[in-house]
Each structure stands twice: as structure tokens, then as C-alpha cells.
Chains A and B, each alone.
Chain A
Amino acid sequence: MLMRARRSRRPWFLVVPAVALVVVFFVLPYANLLVMSFFMPGKAEPYDAIPTLGNYTSALGDSFQWWILWRTLKLGFLTTLFTLVVGYPLAYNLARAGSKVKGMLLVLLLSPLLVGVVVRSFGWMVLLADNGLINSIVKHWGLAPHGLKLMYNEFGVLVGTVHIYLPFMVLSLSGALENIPPDLELAARSLGASFTKAFWRIVFPLSLPGVFAGCLLVFVLAVSSYVIPVLLGGFKVITTPLLVVQTAVDVHNWPGAAAQAVILFATSLACIGLYFKLMNRAMRGLSA
């Protein structure tokens, strides 16, 4: 009797450590960050517990910060676009590969993910620097005697972010593409549709959920990336995450940094909301 009663009870103690961890060291800190954004920046202490809207008014009244936010969103959008364009062929190839080849392709695709972001950025620095490999080849062959400016600008940052977030896009896309039976495409082809037509009329529309998920994921990751803009932008391409860290660590203005972080979150949420709306309309248009 006792055994049965005990067995039917849920062993909630299993989940308590994980929930406690996330609540105490994740939810509470973010709640604290939100509260902090309404405090006064302190003089001796990092903040004074006096409520104010000043952090928001000064952040929102600063045209420089708006411009940085705009650049952050622009880079996020471009990263998403390029990973989609580059990732689609990769995902299509992966989804249609035999199981043996697929294992190898997965290793190639996932291995960059497993190497730290600092090491990967360094790899790009070796390639893109003014006296890096690409420039040395270009100069050696006399293609551009003064070399190309490939790093410490938005181009370098974009190369880095596209490279880093590409595997996420490919995995999202190939998940959706794998669920489309190849027979559908073959049927369209056998009925006389060209490859291009079969692709745009059958495969691409059916893969839209994957496109949708992949773009969302990459955009969210890209607007908050920190290492790439620092190392490949060389403090010349300031984005909002950089500004937040600078305000918190160098200026030691925690409430100001918190407000900037909240503004970034709010803006990306607004972008995501807009995106959902557009995407819903696109999906409806397809099903009609």
C-alpha cells in the first residue's frame, strides 16, 4: 500500500535543482536588470536606489545611440539574409544526401560550432587582416596594389557573423526540407515541371516553416553578438551590445547599461513581432 502511494507521487525533487538554478540565477538577475534600469546612476556606488526614468530619456534622446541601434539591426538583418541565401543550398544538399555522406557533412557543418568563437574570429583575422593571407595573395598577383580593406569595418563583421550563424540556419532549414518527401518533387518533374518550377512551386513553399524558424534564430543571435564586432570590427564598428558592456564596465554606469539592454530587447521583440505578422500574411497567401 505504502509502496504504491509513494510510487504514484511525482518525484518533483528531480526537477527542483534545475528550476531553482534557472529561477535564482537567470530569472531573478534579469528581473533585477529591469529594476536597475529605473535607478539613478550612483556616484560612489554603481547605482542609487532612487527611481527615475532618466536612463531611458537620456538613451532615447541620444541620436548617437539611435544610430548604433540602427546599425545593430541592419547588421542583424543582413546576416540573416546572407545566411539564408548561403544556407539554403547547403541544407537542400544535406537533406537529400545519403545517410553515409550525411554523417560526414554533419561533422563538417557542426565542427565550426564546436570551436570557440574567439578562435574562429582569430582565423578570420589571419585571413582578412591588412597584411593577412588574402591581401598578401592579392598583392602578390598585383590585383590590388594597395590591398583591400577587409577587416575593421562592417564587411569584416558580416563575414564573421554569417560564418558563425550559418550552421544554425542550415540545421533549421534541413529539418524542414527532410520532412518534404522527395516523391513530391519527382511527381512534379514527371508531370513536366522544370527543376526551377518544381523547386519554387513545391519545395520552397513547403520549407517555409524552416525558413521562418532559421531566420528568427539567426536574427536574435546576430543582434546580440559581441565577440565578432569587437575582434573583426576592431572597435570601429560599435553595436549596441558593445555599447552596453562599455557603459557597464568602462563607464561603470549600471543603470544606463541596463536601460540600453532593455531598449535592445524591446526593439528586437518589436522586429520579431513585425516579422511574425509579415510571415503569417505570407503563409496565408500561399495556402489560399
Chain B
Amino acid sequence: MSRRYGRLARAAFLALIALLYVFLIAPIVIVVVASLNAGRFLVFPPDGLSLQWYVKFMNSGPFVRSFLFSLRLAALTTVITTVIGTAAALYVVRHARRNNALRMLLVAPLQLPGIMTSLALLIFYYAIGLGGTSYLGLLIGHVVVCTPYAFLTVAAVLYNFDRSLEEAARSLGAGSVTAFRRITLPIIKGGVIAGAVFSFITSFDQFPISLLLSGVGTTTLPIQVFDYLRFSFDPTAAAVGTVNILITLGVVIMTERLVGLESLYLGGRQ
């Protein structure tokens, strides 16, 4: 009797879990479905399939321009943050493990809301004469909020790094650069790649920083979509969103193949 009750409770629990995952995934799946929908609104019963929103996306100058701009910006941001973040992680883990103040400073941009950081930067740029909305200012904003990700993921891997391996290489005559390139880098590669992935996605999807810092000619994709959605409802956004989702999915699958998703999870939790 009690066993049957237990099994029933367990089934109910698993059903609840399944329902919650549906809640998590629903808006993303619905964007993909809406992008393939023939009508302007997704209704029940559905209107049928169509690729018209993708055609509209391809033919829309602003969307394509901002899409390419976002890709370039995210790529540049990723290169800069990966170098800066990896270097900082090497120093902090090896030479300043107990320096909590330093670590807190480096992850501080994650702790304060992006929209406030954005406002603070906008006003600061004006004060130092960088102008309100320049490409450089936008890039710096993205680098500031993405660097902590690169730092954290590399640091997470470095904590478990056995330094005697590098020392062995050095004692066998390798220079510090060779030892780093041949021993250290291959071992921390997973963390570096995971950090780069996080940086890329964070920059590509970045909203609050871009909202106040992007201007004419430096409009990122999320801002372009937001401007469309603010006052009207346009399914072209669904096509853009689907392309966005596919890019993210591609990047995540590539990471999974290269280093395994666990490293993203562990890196993000440090």
C-alpha cells in the first residue's frame, strides 16, 4: 500500500519536473515555431508553414547590418577578454590565491546591474571626452562585462592544475614560454575555450550595456530587435531570434565536443 503510494508520489514528482522544464524551454521553442508560422500571430489552430519572415529578415537592411555588426563586436570582445582574463587568472591563482580583494575586484562587473553600469559608463565617457556613443566606448563596455567570465572559467581550471608538471618541464631545460605553450596551455585549454564561449555569447546577446552605449552605425542585433518590439509586434523578430538561437546552439555543441559542458557549469559556478 505504502509502496504504491510512494510510486505514485514519485510519478507525480517527475511529472512536475517535466512540466517545469517545459516552462523553461517553452519561450525558446515558441520563437522557432513562430518564425515558421505563416500568419502574423501564432494562433490555434495554426495558419500553416512559411519562410516569409526569414525572407523579410534577409531583405531588411537594418537587421542584417546589426547582425553582422554584433558578430564582429562579439568576436573582437572575445579575443580581448580571453587574453586579459587568462593572464589575470594565471596571476591570481598562482601568486595571489589568498588575495580576496583582488578577486572581488576582478569579478565586480558581474555583481552590479548591467543597466546601471551602462549609465555610469555613458556619463563617464562624456566626462573624459570619449563622446556618448562611439564604437570604442561600446567595445570597452562589452569587454568590461565579459572579462569576469573569462577570468572565472580559466581560474576554475587552474585551481586543479598540478604545477609540478610545469616545473618538471622547466627542470628538463624548457624556457618559461615553451613550458607555458607545451604544458600549461594544453591543460587549461578547456577553461580558456569555455571562457571564450561565455564571452562570445554574453557579448552577442548583450543588452543593457549596448542599450545606452550603441548609437547610429553601432546598433547591435539585440538593440535592433528591441526597437522593433518596443512599440509593435513583428514576427521578423522570431526569424532573427531563431538565427540567434541556432548560433548559440552551434557554439554550445562545439564546446561540448571540444571540452564537455561540465566545464561551462563548473566554470560558471566558481
Q: Does A237 contact B (CB under 8 A)?
A: no
With beta carbons under 8 angstroms apart, the residue of A30, A46, A133, A167 that contacts B30 is A133
Q: Chain A residues near B230 (CB, 8 Å)?
A: 230-231
Q: Can you name 26 A-B pairs with beta carbons within 8 Å?
A: A12-B95, A15-B96, A17-B88, A21-B84, A22-B105, A29-B117, A32-B123, A32-B124, A33-B120, A86-B20, A93-B14, A106-B265, A108-B24, A110-B264, A111-B249, A118-B222, A121-B229, A123-B27, A123-B241, A131-B43, A133-B42, A171-B269, A195-B6, A221-B113, A227-B208, A244-B119
Nearest chain A CB to B46 CB, angstrom units: 9
- What residues of chain B lie closer than 8 Å to A33, measured between beta carbons? 116, 119-120, 123-124
Contact (A112, B24) CB under 8 Å given A106-B261, A126-B42, A224-B113? yes
A11 touching B95 in the complex, CB below 8 Å, given contacts A32-B120, A131-B41, A224-B115: yes
Instruction: Write the nearest CB–CB distance from A219 to chain B, whole angstroms.
Output: 12
Let me know if B109 and A22 touch, CB within 8 A.
Answer: yes
A50-58, A201-209, A253-261, A274-282 - interface stretch: A253-261
Among the listed stretches B51-59, B143-151, B186-194, which one makes contact with chain A, having 4 or more residues with CB under 8 Å of it? B143-151
Query: Are A115 and B121 within 8 A (Cβ)?
Result: no
Is B38 among interface residues, defined by CB-CB distance under 8 A? no
Q: Specify which chain B residues have a CB less than 8 angstroms from the CB of A25 in the assembled complex.
A: 121, 124, 140-141, 143-144
B26 interfacial contact with A, CB 8 Å: yes
Check: A71 CB closer than 8 A to any chain B CB: no
Whole-angstrom distance from the CB of B88 to the nearest CB of chain A?
4
B81-94 interface bits toward A, Cβ cutoff 8 Å, 1 = contact, 0 = none: 00111011011100
Task: Say how far B247's CB is from chain A's closest CB, in angstroms.
Answer: 10
Q: Which residue of A lies closest to B143 (CB)?
A: A21
Q: Flag whether B237 is at the interface (Cβ < 8 A).
A: yes
Q: Which of B28, B84, B143 contacts A111 (CB 8 A)?
A: B28
The answer for the CA separation of A77 and B108 in the assembled complex, in Å, is: 23
Does A44 lie at the interface of the complex (its beta carbon under 8 Å from any beta carbon of B)? Answer: no
Encode contact with A along B225-240: 1 for CB under 8 Å, 0 otherwise.
Answer: 1100110010001101
- How far, in whole Å, are A225 and B108 apart by their CA atoms in the complex? 18
CA distance A245 to B88 in the complex (A): 33
| Contact indicator B115/A226 (Cβ below 8 Å) | yes
- Asked if A109 and B24 sit within 8 Å, CB to CB, the answer is yes
Chain B residue numbers with a CB within 8 Å of A221 are 113
Whether B156 is near chain A, meaning CB under 8 Å from some CB there, is: no
Name the one of A19, A21, A29, A137 contacting B121, with C-beta atoms under 8 angstroms. A29
Q: Which of A125-143 contact B (CB under 8 A)?
A: 125-127, 129, 131-133, 136-137, 140
Q: Which residues of A are found within 8 Å of B147, using beta-carbon distances?
A: 18, 21-22
A254 to B127, CA, bound (A): 12
Pairwise interchain contact B41-A163, C-beta atoms closer than 8 A:
no
A68 to chain B minimum Cβ distance, whole angstroms, is: 15
Give the nearest-CB partner of A248 in chain B: B119
| B205-230 to A contact mask, C-beta < 8 Å, 1/0 | 11110011000000000100110011
Indicate whether A266 reaches chain B with its CB closer than 8 angstroms.
no
Q: For the side of the interface on B, what is the size category?
A: 35 or more
- What bracket does the count of chain A residues touching chain B fall in? 35 or more
* B40 → chain A closest CB, angstroms: 9
Q: A112-B28, A120-B27, A224-B115 are in contact. Are A129 and B21 (CB under 8 A)?
A: no
Q: Does B196 contact A (CB under 8 A)?
A: no
**Smallest CB gap from A226: residue in B:** B115
Is A182 positioned at the interface, with any CB of B under 8 Å from its CB? no
Query: CA–CA, A11 to B106, complex, Å?
Result: 17
Q: Are A26 and B144 in contact (CB under 8 A)?
A: yes
A186 proximal to B (CB < 8 A): no
Per the bound structure, the CA–CA distance linking A18 and B92 in Å amounts to 11
Cα–Cα, bound, A126→B249 (Å) = 21
Tell yes or no: B76 within 8 A of A by CB: no
Residue among B29, B147, B240 with most chain A CB within 10 A: B147
User: Known interface pairs A11-B91, A171-B269. Does A108 touch B28 (Cβ–Cβ under 8 Å)?
Assistant: no
Interfacial chain B residues near A171, Cβ < 8 Å: 265, 268-269
Beta-carbon nearest neighbor of A231 in chain B: B229
Task: Report chain B residues within 8 Å CB of A163.
Answer: 23-24, 27
